[in-house]
Each structure stands twice: as structure tokens, then as C-alpha cells.
A and B are shown apart, each in its own frame.
Chain A
Amino acid sequence: MFRLTPMRSGVFALTVAALAIWAGLGGFFAREMVAEIAILAILALSLDLAAGFGGMVSLAHGAIMGVAAYGYVLACQAGLPPWPAAVVGIAAAALTGGLIGAVSARTQGIFFIMATLAFGQMIWTATFRSDALGGDNGMGGIPRPPLPLADSGDPLVFATYALLLLVAAFLLAAALLRSPFGRAMEAVRDNPARAAAIGLPPARIRATGFMLSSAVAGIAGVLAAQHIQFVSPELMVWTASGEALVVLILGGIGTLTGPVIGAAIFVVLKHWAAGWTDHWHLVIGALLIAVVLAGGRGIYGLIDRGRDA
């Protein structure tokens, strides 16, 4: 059962504070990195909801995040102001996740993973081939949202805004997990037959959980579109979903705090490795295998005693 232990909230708060200080003291590059970390952390957080607490390992979350990014762009182009457009993007992600979940939740374990991988690829292929969505070229000219008393075009302001959204996503996920629905989702993960016997419909709970997780992934998608102000099918390609999974496993699945730490380490590692090799995915792949062989609890998972999954 999920508990927001002092350890979990404390380490999370420390991580966010460290990122905020880094953004404040560092230059342009540090601020861009912090925004990137926040986006990846929200995505990994949403994946933790589905995979860590719902037992639904998804290889579609990159694509779902991409749907939110494209949804935001299309809504902006249709004339909506940024904030309502963001709601449209998140709703599009939730709807997509709800549909994928409704079909995939009938399956379990590896079948679920394969189904989400296939649906993720479907979204990528459809986007890639769609002329209306710019196809391979993607779409640009994406506005950032107006903020009170600050200019979201400023890197420091945007990094702060991204960190605030990360905090909001973390609190949202924690609240969801502590709600009766969150408890039901964990019950279904642990023992579907027993959950069904006490009156919890497993397929519906899994599909709903997947939809809510997708909505959180949608926050990451809208934020990503606002950050780079450009969307392309790259957001949705399988490596994006794979990377989110790597971040989750690296940081510690089923802990909520772990994904955030994983995202910070991953982005720093990625930029460091990309500095001396074009083939940094090699490092990522080796790291993933090493973490799994080491027991799969991840960096934060090793120190977290609050975990009882």
C-alpha cells in the first residue's frame, strides 16, 4: 500500500529544491536542463502510477505524451488561448489512454506490454504519415502560456514553472494513490481474483487507472510542447516510451520519488554521454540491464524502506 512517508516527501522536496537552486545559480543551459528533467520526471511519475502501482507496464506512454503535445498545438492553432489549449491536450491524452487501457486492460503481464507497444507504434505511424500534422517535419510556432507577473519566455521562469508543475503532478499522484480508487488499483494489481471477489471490477479499475496515468503523462506532453515550442513524431517513437521506463526503473519503481531522481540522473547522464559520444543509447541500454540484474529496485528503491509492494 502506498504511503507518502516523510522519507519520500523529504527526498522529493530536496530534489526539487536542488533543481531550483541549480536553475537559479546556473546559466541558460542549466535552466533548460531543469525544465527537461521536470518534463521527464512528470512522464516517469505517470508511468509509475500505471506500472508501479497498477501493475501495467506501458510502452505507449511516450506516444500518449505526444498526443497531448499535438493536442495542445492543434488547439492553439484553432485559436484557443494557451491555458484552455493545455486542458485540451491533457484531455486528448486521457482519452487516448482510456481507449488503449480499455482494450489492453483485458490482458495481463506481457500481453499488456505488447498491446501497449503496438498501440504506441500505431499512434506514431499515424502521426508520421499524416500531412495535416506536418508528418515527419512536425509543427512549430507553439506559444508558451502567459504567467502572472512573469515572462514564460525567460528560461529561469520557465524552469520554475516546470518545477511547480512537477510538484503539482507529484501531489496529484500521491492524492490519487491515497484515495479509495488508488487502494483499489493496488488491490487489483496484487490479486485480481480476490479484488473481483470483494466487488472490485479489475478490468474497469485497470482501464481507469491507465486513463488517469495518461492524463498525468498529458501534463508532461503539454509542458514539452511549451518547452521546445516544436512537436514532431520523435516525441512518440518507441525509444521515448523506453526511456521513460528506463528512468522509472533506474530511479525506483513504485515509490513516486524514485522516478523524479531517475529523471534527474538520466538527463544529466544523457547530456554528459552525448558530449563525448553519439551513441549514448548504448550507455542507457547497458545501464538498464545492469539495474535489472542488480535486483530492479532502482537507486531510490535501495534506500526506501517505505516500500512494501
Chain B
Amino acid sequence: MAAFWLLQLLNTLQYAALLFLISAGLSVSFGLMGFANLAHGALYMLGAYLGISVAAKAGFWVALIASPLIVGLTGAALHLGLLRRIAGKGPMPQVLVSFGLVFIAVELVRIVWGDVPLTLAAPEALSGTVRILGVPYPAYRVFVILTGAAVAILLWLIVHRTGIGAALRAAVENPDMARAIGIDTGRLFLGVFTLGAALAGLGGVVAVPIVSASTSMAMTALIPALIVTVIGGMGSVTGAMLGAVIVAVIEVFGAALWPDASAVLIYLALAAALIWRPQGLLASGAKS
């Protein structure tokens, strides 16, 4: 019985790690510029498909680096070419344009990679199992947990211990004042957006050996990421971590203990969060 709980706990951590990778960029770019990028899930999907293609040519480890880089650059190009024009024009144009991008991204993926879901085998070095407190667990999933944890720690250090992080926090707190004291919020936003896209791409390539890549990823990843952001609060890396863990606990334990209701449990959590604390648990900034 203890093994069951340990297994669920590990699955929760693994799922939370993936959710965090997707949500961190969404949350911070939203907190910073109030920009709701509904195409964020599409970037995750792109990361997964690129990962499969690169891994087929150059192996998993190259894909792990290359895929986030390409997705990050794609994000930067989208921001410079399109999204920057509509940032600050209110939620409606942002939602519509990013929704239009989802339509386009899904069709492009269908054209390039086809309609059949694709899979990617875990790399040789991680194909076995490890024993954690006597319970066998796939090594690849441990790697996912560690990747998520490493990114979380790194991001936390950047945000809370560096000058750029201080500028970022100031800009989330009060963009006008930040600009007034000389922080280039436009460039900061481009950087955050690129990093967020790269993290979504990393999430995509890391996820493929566990969940196969399909075009439905654009939405199936976006919704939990939005819920993480709403529950955790906008613009906060810590909030994204907390939100990811909460959503992962609900999803994993819900599926294990109450499978009939598992499909709607996180939406109930979302409703509860919106009623109880519409601004999120750890919201930073004045936008609520």
C-alpha cells in the first residue's frame, strides 16, 4: 500500500515538473505585460514535434537542446513580428490573434508531420528503472522530475537573486514606474517571452517519451497551464510552482482514487480558486 502512495507521489512530481515548464513562461509574460498568449500550448506542441524530428536525426540529447532553442526563436520572431503590435491593446485582440495562431500552428503541424500521433523512445541511458525506497520507477520519469526541479531552482535564483530578476519583479509590480526609472520593459518582455517559449518547447520535448505527440496537445497543455496560472497567481515563478503542484496532485490522485470524476476535478478546483481568490494564491503585481 505504501508503494501505491509513493508511486502516486512520484507521478505527481513528474506531472508537476511538466506543468511547471509550460506554465512558468505563460504566467510571467502575463504578469509582466498582461499578455495572455493562448498560443502557448501550440509552442509546447511545436517543441514536441521538433524534438521528435531532431531526435530522429541527431539523438535525444541534441533534441533536448535544439528543440527549445528553435521554439524560443520562433516565440521571439512571433513577438517581434506580430504580438508586440497588439500588446497593450486589451485582452480581446490578444486572445483573437493568439487563437488565430493556434489554428495556424495546428494546421502547419498536420501538414509537416501528419495526423497520426508520433512517439519518441526515451534515450538509452534513461530507458531502465530505478528503485526509490524499494519501489521501481522509470528512470526517464525521474529525469523529468529533476529537469523540472532544476529549471524551477534556476528561474527562482534568476528572479530573486539577480539584477535582471529585480528589474523583472519591479516591472511586474508597476510597469509605468519601472519604465520611469529606466528599465527597458519592452526588451525585458521580449526576453521573458523568448525564455517562456523556450521552456514550453523544453516541456514539449521532455514530455514526448511519456505522452505521444498529437495536434490536440496545443489545447490539452494550454488548459492545465492556464489553470496553474490562475490558481498560482500571475507573474510569479513561485506561484507557477505551487499551482503546478496543486494541479498535479488533483489530477494524479483524482485519477487514482476517483477515476469517474477525474475529468472534471481540476475544473472544480479552478472554479473554487476563482470564487475564493480570483487574483490567485501568490499573485504579484497590481493587476487582479
Q: Please report A residues at the B interface, Cβ cutoff 8 Å.
A: 57, 59, 103-104, 106-107, 109-111, 113-115, 117-119, 121-122, 125-126, 129, 238-239, 242, 245-246, 249, 278-279, 281-282, 284-289, 291-293, 296
Contacts and interface: CB of A to CB of B under 8 A. Distances in A.
Contacts of B90: 109
Q: Majority SS of interface residues in chain B?
A: helix
Contacts of B88: none
Contact of A107 (B30, B100, B226, B278): B278
Q: Majority SS of interface residues in chain A?
A: helix
A111 B100 contact: no
Contacts of A245: 96, 99
Contacts of B86: 292-293
Contacts of A57: 91-92, 95
B97 A288 contact: yes
A282 B219 contact: no
Given A111-B278, A113-B95, A279 B36 contact: no
28 contacts: A103-B271, A104-B274, A110-B34, A111-B274, A113-B36, A114-B229, A115-B274, A118-B223, A118-B226, A121-B267, A126-B263, A126-B264, A242-B102, A245-B99, A246-B100, A278-B110, A279-B107, A281-B104, A281-B106, A281-B107, A282-B104, A285-B100, A285-B104, A286-B104, A288-B103, A289-B104, A292-B100, A296-B92
B94 A110 contact: yes
B82 A110 contact: no
B107 A117 contact: no
Nearest to A285: B103
Interface of B: 30, 34, 36, 38, 82, 85-86, 90-97, 99-104, 106-108, 110-111, 219, 223, 226-227, 229-230, 263-264, 267, 270-271, 274-275, 278
A121 B226 CA distance: 12
A103 B275 CA distance: 7
A183 B100 CA distance: 32
